[in-house]
Amino acid sequence: MKFTAQQIATQLEGTVEGDPNVEVFQLSKIEEAQKGSLTFLSNPKYTPFIYKTQASVTIVNQDFIAEDRLSTTLVRVPNAYDSFSILLDYYNKAKISKSGVAESAVIDPSAKIGKNCFVGHMSCIQEDVEIGNDVKIYPQVYIGSNVSIGAGTIIFAGAKILEDSIIGQNCIIHSGSVIGSDGFGFAPQENGDYKKIPQTGIVVLGDRVEVGSNSTIDRATLGVTSIGNGVKLDNQIQIAHNVEIGDNTVIAAQTGIAGSSKIGKNCVIGGQVGIVGHISIGDNVKIQGQSGVISNIKENSTIQGTPAFSYNDYNKSYVYFKNLPNILKEINRIIKKLDL
């Protein structure tokens, strides 16, 4: 797709300085941009690049003052960063805008598919599935029986949505994710073996949930594994059976949450955090990366460490942790001096 500088300015309610008819067909960083690229300048430390860039069009703040000759056409807007983000979203939506059903897709006759949907090659949709309008299902996706998928949801290549799962509206499920697989439930036996406990519950995702690549959300043993509205999950996250996550919580990569734990709303959880099962974490909690959470956490707390405790106390204590050898040496010197 090609756009002129004037079309971009009109979309962003900006003004053109230069050739309004110059065309762009790709997005680039300012230091790497070539002819035909659209880029932006927001951070002042990148200002030197605007005099060297080969970008055909550059979005800048309204108050930008050029101190040297420019070869790029400018589009002036109130906030260059926000405007470029708007264009990124528009570009991404245009890129993934598809409709129709591929010939190699396998769809059970009982499945109900809404208007303007896309189903890619070799995707499989089982019996009694209900899919809302404008849903995009990319190649090699598996959707199990009795699954419900809300309008506007996008499921990228290779994702698996297993039976009875409920996916809300405008969700994004990235490649390789598995939603609704069995939870890790085994009962120890007297002979040392483990007997599998059937996992008969479901997974429910609210609206506007994003699930990163290769993340897994297990079905409940009984009842529901629940992911609230607006939750954002990074890549390679494990969420176990019967976990509940409140609205608008964000979780970074490689975090693992054990069974039946409850996490509140608007929490921020860093990467590689481990959370044990059957605990409660309040609303607005911040957990620093690589922390291990083994007990209930009150709302509005910020914690770090393993086992995790107050972030401020952790930082104060760390000064002593790293100096323990010197502190011990000093204690031994004092003991020797006192002849104790």
The order of strands in the sheet holding 37-40 is 15-17, 73-77, 57-61, 37-40, 26-27
* Residue 174 known to be catalytic: no
Nearest Cα residue to 203 out of 242, 173, 146, 236: 242
In contact, 163 and 144? CB cutoff 8 Å: yes
> What residues contact 65, with CB distance under 8 A and at least 6 apart?
none
For 19-38, b/e burial (b = at least 16 CB within 10 A) is: ebebebeebbebeebeebbb
DSSP codes of every residue in 65-89: --SS---SEEEEES-HHHHHHHHHH
Which neighbouring-strand residues pair with 245?
227, 263
In contact, 41 and 47? CB cutoff 8 Å: yes
What would the two tokens of residue 276 be? Answer: 């044990």
* CA–centroid distance for 108 within its chain: 31
- Cα gap 303→294, rounded to integer Å: 12
CA 124 to each of CA 97, 127, 129, 140, 143: distance values in angstroms, whole numbers, following the listed order: 20, 10, 11, 7, 6
**Annotated catalytic residue within 121, 174, 241, 278:** 241
- Cα gap 180→161, rounded to integer Å: 6
**How many other C-beta atoms lie within 10 A of the C-beta of residue 104?**
12
Give the helix/strand (H/E) hosting 260: none
> What residues contact 220, with CB distance under 8 A and at least 6 apart?
183, 199, 200, 201, 202, 203, 241, 242
Residues acting as catalytic residues: 241
